[in-house]
Structure 1
Amino acid sequence: MKRAEQSGLAETGQGQGQGQGQGQGPVQGQGQGQRPVQSQTGPGQAGLENAAPLEWGEGVRLRSRFVARAVLILLLGASMAALHARGGAVEWLLATVTAAVAFCCIILPYMAVGKITVERSIVDAEGLYDGGDMQVLLTLRLSRPVPFMWLGMSEAIVPGTAQSGKGLKVEYAFLPGFKRVFHIRYSVRGLRRGEFKFNPLQVSAGDMLGLTVRKIEVECPGSLLVHAMAPAGEAFADLPGFRPSAKSSERQPIASLGGQMITAAARASRGGAGPDVRSYIPGDSPRRIDWRAMARGLGMQTRISNAEEAGQLIVLLDTSKSAYGADMRLFDAHVGRAVLVMRQAVREGKSVVVLTTDELELVVRAGERSTLLAAEEKLARLQWGTSPRKPMSQCLSDVVAGMPRGSALICLTAGTKGAGAVARESNASENVFYGAKLAAVRGVKLVLLLSFAETEAAPAEVNWRARLQGTDCSVKALPVPLSYRKQAPAMAELSMTANKEGGALDVSTASS
């Protein structure tokens, strides 16, 4: 559990004060006290200059009713004048009631609120992941009781960048009575990958008739990091370089001779065949050629040794916005799949290198879990680019050109825009076909994983396989469910206790 704390002293009329905040881990920063604000969705502080705007309407804004206050003051003046002129019992009663109402509605909201201390704790802040839940505990402490008043709390969680999706706003109002310590616990479901920040906490205080509303902003800076996670149910234990899983993903290599699909059963039926074969590449040793398969008319095939299987593993992630059709969730799904590949490699004691089209390089070494955690944090903050430094096709060709024989390259992209132009056959390096053909020549196993919407995955896979016919590239379109694409942070539940026990009266529930 990580905690951030802020305390401040609100003064009558100005609402200014001083305080200090502390933070650890994902919830950190130093506060500047509290001050009056003009709206409930103010710009916020704590390093939010680049934060995205909140994606919700402001709704009903709480504010003081100046006309009603003016009428009450006039009525108080009239009752005092009547009391001075006549001095009867009726005049005394009217003046007393009017003065009491004016005191409770105009003076008490400014005089009663003293020092406010706010603490925020996030349960398991380092274990937040895409699609998971988050629990936040807010502890609000008052220096003195505020009876005959209501208190409101408003907290906004905003994305650190404009690409991190929507934010969330939590609002809660209650009658404090004579209690001074309040514990507000709320949970958020449907988290999305990225870094999020907490806007300054806004505390509102007002009288029972709603004539005066005080708004106090308490600096309690904090942030949280939501790690990437692939759609539920996905696993990649059968990728090149990994131990085969119990259930195949039905990926089939595209043969380079005549478009023939060579299955495992067909290879096993050939006498003298090794554990696996691939198409012949000029320069292969004649002792490794499967002459029996050639005699049966299956073409020249080369046996693959175990040493060649256990080669270098590289993951190439496309970070171009246009490749995903401006669908951020397709990109988030691929980032989560890159994390799955890294974790699988670590479990099997292998090293893996993650590259992006923006020239980001992450190295996860076998047996060094710290490198895995550091890579996951960087991928959690990764954003796509409108103009990457290199196109995906050029990055693919450059990476393949530097890989040794027997290595494996897993390419994560989408190709939702201009897929035909990207994948067509050509001798230029501007398309994926050239990179796939180069991988076959150099003896590099290439796996192309495509991220598509659930309804578009099947036809897209057929299209890409047809366009990459003639290479040893394995192609699979991975569907992204609609529930994953439409996922957005939302309130799950909210509860409050006062002085470690129930006692405060709820006025309204939270809103998001």
Structure 2
Amino acid sequence: MKAGDAAGLPRTRRTALVLLAALFGAALFAVLLRGTALDWFLAGLPAAVLAMACLPKLWAAAGGLSVERVLEPGGKEGELSVRLIFHGRWMPPLLLVQVREQLENLAAAERKPLVLTRWLLPWLSKEWTAHYRVSGLGRGVYQFAPATVVVTDPLGLACGMLKLAAPGSFTVLPQPEETGVFRALSMSEKKASEPGGFAGEGGGKSAGRGGAGPLNRIYREGDSLRRIDWRLAAKGRGLHTRLDEHGASPVMLVLLDLDQRSYRETGADGQLDACAGLAARALMDAGANGCTVRLQAGAEAEVKVAPGDSRAARTAALLLARAVPAPGAGAAESLERLLLGKQLTVGSRIVILTAGWDIKLWEQLADLSRAARCGLELHVPIRSTLPLQARQEREQWAKKSGVSLAWFSLDASRRQGWKGRLSIREEDGHGWQAWS
């Protein structure tokens, strides 16, 4: 056990035990010398206390205690019911039992576990239950550490500790942000899937269908002459490039920035959850508009979601739930890898969700998008206390660079860490004490 994990655990009072042993020795010596009733009483009292102090260690060693963990979803989003069922070989005789739980979010930006403790008095049963409910769980992958059980005597002189394996883990999927936060995206989703225009260029409309099947867009320098729709050109509609099922059709790329430098501030978990929620909303809106989306969340984590593909949508949701900041998982690195690997189709739409505030990062993303001849949208969760001047400077930069910039304001409750948003309630009316 690490030093930090020992906070709040009972410990053996060695000094008190030494004093009791000395008192018992003196009383026993008096019994041997005089043997009066008072001497016997003074010897029996510390002997009884010392015998009681031996019970925790003996019961911990021979009690045969085991635990079973039962996880059940609650009635609300982000709510979980946890039941710990303890089985013992014998009833704990006059002992106090402390149950210590440790829950960790493996996908959080702030990797600090939540520790819960509860005192129980299971004197009359070989089996007892600790039942509590956790609400306010955000996106992430949660895992329970082995349960720590400490038994001690009523005077708190000695204790015995057990670590009981009780595997338990669960995943909370990100909740899409409310309708309206992606209004600009949802209104233009179908246009975005057509390569009609991107940051820094004109010609933002598609020519629609030019025949029996293939999609068309305005011709751009560098397009293959073999893909020019000469039928439309003969009708006097200008040059258009065909995009049929045999060609690479533009799609919408949703990229979740997982650069560790973007999530260093207090409340980074709320920002990361907001970015994941915005990505989930983008996937939902794109599916409703019949558009294909490529989701990139991490160095090697990618999934393509077609309209109506529920399995791919589920995979994307799990990918967002497991997303965690890591080296090399930033938006700029991911976009550069896609560009070097020639995996970006000209005219695609790039939507980046980032908590990064560095203007140099944004300029790098804009340069990469222009190099790929794709449109760029930045969606940034911000604090309500952000200076207005800083926002205006970045809005002016976005307008000048041809980048679509959208803010998403986070209230005070969402700027807390994942532990600060939790609420713990004991089912039998008693509370669990939590350490940060």
Partner letter of residue 363 of structure 1? Answer: K
Change (3 A) 1:324 1:212: closer
Q: Is the 8 A contact 1:256 1:470 kept in 2?
A: no
Q: Percent same amino acid at aligned positions?
A: 23
Partner of residue 511, structure 1: 434
TM-score by structure 2 length?
A: 0.73
1:432 is matched by which residue type in structure 2?
A: A
Q: Does 1:111 align with 2:41?
A: no
Shift of 1:232: 5.7
Deviation at 1:349, TM superposition (A): 4.8
Other-structure match for 1:321: 260
> RMSD of the TM alignment (CA)?
4.2
Aligned counterpart, 2:369: 435
Matched to 1:221, the amino acid is: P
Q: Which residue of 2 aligns with 1:69?
A: 17
Counterpart of 2:397 (choices 467, 475, 481) is 467
Q: Whose helix fraction is larger, Structure 1's or Structure 2's?
A: 2
Q: 1:101 and 2:101 equivalent?
A: no
In the other structure, the counterpart of 2:140 is: 194
In the TM superposition, 1:294-333 aligns within 5 A as 312-323=251-262, 327=268, 329-333=270-274
Deviation at 1:135, TM superposition (A): 2.6
Distance in 1, Cα, partners of 2:343 & 2:41: 95
Pair 139,232 (structure 1): closer, same or farther in 2 beyond 3 Å? farther
Q: TM-score, normalised by structure 1?
A: 0.63
C-alpha deviation, 1:122, in angstroms: 1.8
| Partner residue in 2 for 1:354 | 295
1:401–1:438 CA contact under 8 A, matched in 2: no
Distance 1:78 1:59 in 2: 36
Shift of 1:353: 1.1
Contact in 1 for aligned 2:72/2:80 (Cα 8 Å): yes
Supply the distance in 2 between the matched residues of 1:221 and 1:320 (Cα, whole angstroms): 31
Q: 1:205-257, CA deviations, whole angstroms, 9 ceiling, x for partnerless residues?
A: 1111121111111122322323334566664355255479xxxxxxxx98968
Tell me, in whole angstroms, the C-alpha distance in 1 between the residues paired with 2:362 and 2:339.
Answer: 13
3-state SS of the aligned residue for 1:165?
coil
- 1:155 is displaced (CA, Å) by 1.3
Which residue number corresponds to residue 208 of structure 1?
154
CA 1:368–1:280 in structure 2 vs 1: closer, same or farther (change >3 Å)? closer
Conserved 8 A contact 2:114-2:419: yes
User: Following the alignment from structure 2 to structure 1, what is the Cα–Cα distance between the partners of residues 149 and 128?
Assistant: 13
Aligned length: 391
Deviations 1:301-339 (A, max 9, x none): x9xxxxxxx963321333323355664543332122112
Q: Deviations over 1:363-411 (max 9, x none)?
A: 1233331222122212222222344585466468669984255x54323
Residues 88 and 116 (structure 1), Cα distance of their counterparts in 2 relative to 1, 3 Å cut: same
Cα shift at 1:495: 2.8
Q: Which amino acid aligns with 1:403?
A: T
- In the alignment, the residues of structure 1 paired with residue 335 and residue 166 of structure 2 have an alpha-carbon distance, to the nearest angstrom, of 46
Select which of 388, 412, 423 maps to 1:492.
423
Q: In the TM superposition, what is the alpha-carbon distance from 1:438 to its structure 2 partner?
A: 6.1
Query: Equivalents in 2 of 1:181, 1:68: separation in Å?
Result: 32
**Which residue is equivalent to 1:382?**
323
- The answer for unaligned runs of 5 or more in structure 2 is 192-197, 205-216, 241-248
- For the 8 Å contact 2:98–2:151, the answer to whether it is kept is yes
Distance 1:95 1:412, change over 3 A: closer
Distance 1:189 1:462 in 2: 38
Q: Secondary structure at the match of 1:375?
A: helix
Q: Does 1:448 align with 2:394?
A: no
**Distance in 2 of aligned mates of 1:496 and 1:325:** 36
Q: What are structure 1's unaligned runs of at least 5 residues?
A: 1-41, 44-52, 245-252, 263-277, 290-301, 303-309, 424-429
The answer on 1:481 being equivalent to 2:411 is yes
